Amino acid sequence: MGYLGGSTADVYSFAVYYFFWVAITVFAFGTAYRLAKMVLLWRRVVKAEPRNRGVGAWIIGLVRTFVDPIIFSMKAKPHDFLAGLVALHIVGVLPLIFLLAHHVAFFAYWFAPYKLVAETGLWIPLSVTTSTLTITSPIEVKFVNSIWGPLTVILNGDVLAILAILGVAFKIGTKVMEQAHGLRHVRWSDYFSLGLLMFILLTGYAAARHSTGTVTMDVGTYRTVLGFHILGAEILLMLIPFSKYWHFVFGYWYGKLHEWYDLRVQKGLV
């Protein structure tokens, strides 16, 4: 059963050749469902005359709409800011997902325009000392000269994965603390979402190094670990429209643009 030497019983092949389509389908339906709900509930209303403070104020307002909460969080909750926004989002998960060399290759295969990222060299290497797939490769170890220059010291899979893992661990810890304080916004599904992300990061980290940290993997184990990594990512993809991960695809952008229009354009808040 299967092709390219894969079999459905092999987790790697199952994830890459079979479940991939299930995940894409669920994601597409979920996305359509969420967007349709928004569209169906949209109501046309007569708006008040806007307070016109000029285009300059709109642009400054747009920047402030995005930046103000970040500054606020930096001042009011520095720990959350560092772990949640910086480690987890800005230098952790986002560049890892979209710029890690392996992911770039994968995305470019499925989505041709993404080749641009590969061709412009914007990808980030797996580690600071080698751009090959693994530190166990019998290749001379030397500093990677990526387009990011000295920034490569940070912008590499090794460092970013560790930051992202720390960020997720902090978030899980925060949830546990908040729940212990009796705060009601913590949901069991939060643990599932964050746990899944942690699982993806750990399996990705292990697979990329062909090592679990203590044991060096044989090819079979590598395929299994990588298979779990991909499977985890696919489950997350399916979860996006039905969970807090929707914020990245839609919630964040809609929310901020709506707030900008409501407060800055319509009401003229400066």
Partner 1 sequence: MAEAAPGPDVRKLLEEIKRNISWEGFQADRVEKTIQEALATLDSVKLHFLENCVGCAACAPSCPYYYVSEKYGPVEKAELARNIYRKEATILGKLLGPLLNAKKPKSEKDLDTIVEAVYRCTNCGACYVSCPFGIDSGAIIKSILASIATKSGRAPTLIAVFDVIEREKLFLKIPSFMYIWNEVMKKAEQALGKPLPFDKKGAEYFLLVNMADAMFYPDAVIGAMRVLDRAGVDWTLPSKPFAFRPPIAAVIGLFKQAREMLKMLNADISKYEPKNVVLLDGGFVYPWLRFQMPKVLGRRPSYRVLHIVELFEKLIKEGKLKLNQTDDKVTWHDPCQLARRGGVTEEPNFVLSAASKGFRKLPHHGAESYCCGGGGGIGCMNMEMLEQMGKLLGVSSKDLVAGEKELEFIQKTAEHWTIAVKRKIDDIKKSGADIVVTACPVCMHSIAGGAQLYGLKTQVRHIAAYIGERLQ
Site string for partner 1, 35-74 (x = CB under 8 A): --xxx-xxx-xxxxx-x-x----------xx--xxx-xx-
Which stretch in 5-13, 75-83, 118-126, 142-150 sits in contact with partner 1 by CB under 8 A? 75-83
Q: How near is the Cβ of 93 to partner 1 at its closest, in Å? A: 14
* 8-state DSSP, 244: T
Least distance CB 176 / partner 1 (angstroms): 13
Q: Which of 189, 195, 216, 220 binds partner 1 (CB under 8 A)?
A: 189
Place of tokens 């599904």: 189
Q: How far apart are CA 169 and CA 164, in angstroms?
A: 8
- Output the CA torsion 7→11→12→16 (10° steps): 80
Per CB under 8 A, the list member of 183, 195, 216, 220 interacting with partner 1 is: 183
Q: With respect to partner 1, which residue has the nearer C-beta, 8 or 189? A: 189
CB of 177 to partner 1, least distance (A): 11
Contact between residue 22 and residue 231 where contact means Cβ atoms under 8 Å apart: no
Nearer to partner 1 by C-beta: 98 or 254?
254
Please give the backbone phi and psi of residue 129, each rounded to the nearest 5 degrees, phi first.
-105, -15
**Beta carbon nearer to partner 1, 64 or 102:** 64
Looking at residue 238, the DSSP 8-state letter turns out to be H
The answer to whether 16 touches 230, Cβ cutoff 8 Å, is yes
Quote the CA–CA distance of 90 and 73 in Å, as a whole number: 14
| Tokens encoding 152 | 């490569």
d(CA 209, CA 161): 12
Which stretch, 15-23, 150-158, 184-192, 204-212, contacts partner 1 (CB under 8 A)?
184-192
Residue whose entry in the numeric block shows the structure tokens 């590499």: 156
Q: Which is nearer to partner 1, 102 or 256 (CB)?
A: 256
Report the amino acid identity of residue 58. W
Site pattern 244..263 for partner 1 (x: CB under 8 A): x-xx--xxx-xxxxxxx--x
Question: What mask, x for binding partner 1 by CB under 8 A, covers residues 203 to 242?
Answer: ---------------------------------------x
Could you tell me the smallest distance in angstroms from the CB atom of residue 254 to partner 1?
A: 6
> What is the secondary structure of 140-154 as a DSSP string?
-------TTGGGGGT
The rounded distance, in Å, linking the Cα atoms of 193 and 244 is: 8
- Sites of contact with partner 1 (CB under 8 A): 34, 37-39, 41-43, 45-49, 51, 53, 64-65, 68-70, 72-73, 76-77, 80, 84, 178, 181-190, 242, 244, 246-247, 250-252, 254-260, 263, 266-270
